[in-house]
Amino acid sequence: MILLNGKKLAEEISERLKREIKKRRLKLKLAVILIGDNHVSKIFAREKERVARKIGIGFKLFYFSAGINQLELKKQIKKITRNKNITGILIEFPLSKNFNTQEILNLIPSAKNVEFFSPVVCAISHLLKGYKIPFKGKNIVIVGAGRLVGRPLSLWLSRKKIKFLIVDKFTKNIPSLTKKADILISGTGSPNLIKSNMIKRGAVVIDVGSCFKSGKIIGDVDFKDVSKKASYITPIAGGIGPLTVACLFENLVKLKRK
């Protein structure tokens, strides 16, 4: 079993970006909008700030309480988008069901949308390339059809004309489908959802889900159990997470290039 070290790849991307920013004397600033007190969102926001400082990018966190109404939130976001010093904007997910997510996302101008290319898709692409894992001709199964993982992954694979299967909570007999996967990608946010009896021996397992439970972050994949059968697997910490952050800043630099 080989650990897919996303942290190492993320550091390589960050160093490359740092050199480019310094060489071109780029003035970049990322605004992160955080609504409510989701613990995982707060952790990822802090990680983005850490990486931003490390590679020479300005950072500003805009925090709003969960009790803010949609109208006031939209007003505040519009104000942020008009700030000329801010070159990229990100809204931390998940959002409360009280908000119309698409309406809020539509407020971010394309010139400042650092998620124009999904950081999750970018991260998985870097991971597979970095470890020379081919995905063409493989049986790919995505667990979860959500906005952050399943949906952008399915669009990306479709554009590449790569066959895949996506399953969610409405799919019957999920284990019978996941057992056929050469590459299994899970992004549901359900702790330890994926067990060893749900994968075939030698599968590549990529865990993109996360939630906060019992004082720590837990992924979709029961790592201790699944690692006994997987050929490659992302660790609970240092897997996809650091790579998605690096890809976010990669997108921010690309916006400046444009």
Q: What is the pLDDT of residues 65-97, one digit of tens each?
A: 989 999 999 999 999 999 999 999 999 988 888
Note the pLDDT of residue 40: 87
Q: Which CATH architecture has domain 12-114?
A: 3-Layer(aba) Sandwich (3.40)
Note the pLDDT of residue 188: 94
For residues 63, 68, 69 and 70, what is the CA-based torsion angle, rounded to 10 degrees?
10
Burial class (CB in 10 A: 0-12, 13-18, 19+), 171: middle
Note the pLDDT of residue 258: 65
pTM of the predicted structure, to 2 decimals: 0.92
Note the pLDDT of residue 214: 76
Q: Domain residue spans in the chain?
A: 12-114, 119-240
- 198 alpha-carbon distance from chain centroid: 23
The CA–CA distances, whole Å, from 29 to 60, 87, 224 equal 8, 5, 39
Q: What is the pLDDT of residues 198-230, one digit of tens each?
A: 999 999 999 999 888 877 889 999 999 999 999
The answer to whether 4 and 131 have CB atoms below 8 angstroms apart is: yes
Q: Quick check: do 12-114 and 119-240 share a fold?
A: yes
Looking at the domain that runs over 119-240, which CATH code has it been given?
3.40.50.720
Residues of the chain with confidence (pLDDT) below 50: none
